[in-house]
Amino acid sequence: MGKIRAGIIGATGYAGAEILRILASHPEAEAVWAGSRSYAGRQISSVYGNLLRFVDLSCVDDDTDRMKDTITQLADEVDVIFTATPQGACAKLVSEELLNKVKVIDLSADFRLKDVAVYEKWYKITHCATQFLDEAVYGLVELNRSKIPGARLIANPGCYTTCSILTVYPLIKKGLIDPDSVIVDALSGVSGAGRGAKVDNLYCEVNESAKPYGVAGHRHTPEIEEQLGYAAGRPITLTFTPHLIPMNRGILVTAYADLLPKADGTLPTQEELHKVYEETYAGETFIRVLPEDVLPQTRFVEGSNFVDINIKADVRTGRVIMMGTLDNMVKGAAGQAVQNMNLLFGLPEETGLMMPPMFP
């Protein structure tokens, strides 16, 4: 059997280009089609100089409206389509016919939320493919692994959400924290904001600065709530506050929650909490529960598909502080998408993803 043939819609955004970078080293897959609205007709390597000699593709116009004709054609040429596109684009393109031909891995939020009302409220877009919401599998591999292989449509999780959910999940699952007390404070590098030419993302606007944004209203909130709600066994509400800080890559989550007493009335100890993480993630290739006194740092996951996690009990306040980090371009986007692709095609999920983090 030949290699898996991949097409990427939105290939010249940061996430799309990162898929190209990862596939360039993937032993069982290759990118054969790259779409771009802004750079149609240009070689990928003239936009992403790093990919010179690795990717020899000319960009095809992938404007969503004009794509309707070419998507059928594309479906004949590839085995999997990654949509690294703005909200709403994948929903416009997906169809029964398409899903019968190829696997679709959507990096946008279009199929992440099961409740269309929640989607439309937070994203302020009318969803135009609600018929696939039930079918779409939320591709957070570590929590949903079994559902992925047979799926046709994967909703690849967001960067903040992947980090937040994996960081908080074990203690909610075990009933050791009050789900409604959860506060997720998150820091992100600037690549998460995409490659659009906006004043806010200019070097001089971001460098030497830190800022909160989307406070009490960021779109990743309901995604975190939905997934952690499954763990809690009931709907939950939490506070999520993202911040932009001056670095290229990386998400760092610091989450807070009130500890719940155990059966004997005492609060769980540091050791007990740490053990819960070790047990929950035992056997996970891409989750590194750190030794007790080592805290996560974004620098140690950069360029890799790893998530580093640790916790600290705050005995003075009866809270626990849960900390996690990942590379928003890899585990937070392209790497996780390839991890899903691997499972969809029956490959070991680590295939092509074992690059060690790069430091410094």
Query: Considering only residues 177-206, where is the footprint of a copy of itself by CB under 8 A?
Result: 180, 183, 185, 187, 189-191, 195, 197-199, 201-206
| Cα Rg of the chain, angstroms | 20
> In this structure, which amino acid lies at residue 29?
A
**124 belongs to the binding site for a copy of itself (CB under 8 A):** no
Residues 288-327 binding a copy of itself (CB under 8 A) are 288, 290-291, 294-304, 306, 308, 312-317, 319, 321, 323, 325
Question: Can you tell me whether residue 44 is helix, strand or coil?
Answer: helix
> What backbone torsions phi and psi does residue 287 show, to the nearest 5 degrees?
-115, 120
> In this structure, which amino acid lies at residue 228?
L
How far is it, in rounded angstroms, from Cα 324 to Cα 162? 10
**130 belongs to the binding site for a copy of itself (CB under 8 A):** no
Question: Which residue of 40, 118, 247, 260 would you call a contact of a copy of itself, by CB under 8 A?
Answer: 247
Question: Which residue of 65, 134, 208, 264 would you call a contact of a copy of itself, by CB under 8 A?
Answer: 208
> What backbone torsions phi and psi does residue 312 show, to the nearest 5 degrees?
-145, 125
Cis amide leading into 360 (omega within 30): yes
Provide the token pair at 201.
């993302």
**266 belongs to the binding site for a copy of itself (CB under 8 A):** no
Residues 5-24 binding a copy of itself (CB under 8 A) are 14, 17, 21, 24
**252 belongs to the binding site for a copy of itself (CB under 8 A):** yes
**51 belongs to the binding site for a copy of itself (CB under 8 A):** yes
State the nearest-atom distance from the C-beta of 311 to a copy of itself, in Å.
Answer: 9
Nearer to a copy of itself, 95 or 267 (CB): 267
282 contact partners, CB below 8 Å, separation of at least 6: none
State the nearest-atom distance from the C-beta of 182 to a copy of itself, in Å.
Answer: 9
Examine the residue annotation and report whether 90 is marked as an active-site residue of this protein: no
How far is it, in rounded angstroms, from Cα 246 to Cα 50? 22
State the nearest-atom distance from the C-beta of 237 to a copy of itself, in Å.
Answer: 5
Instruction: Answer yes or no: are the C-beta atoms of 149 and 141 closer than 8 Å.
Output: no
State the nearest-atom distance from the C-beta of 120 to a copy of itself, in Å.
Answer: 17
Dihedral sign, CA of 54, 56, 58, 62? negative
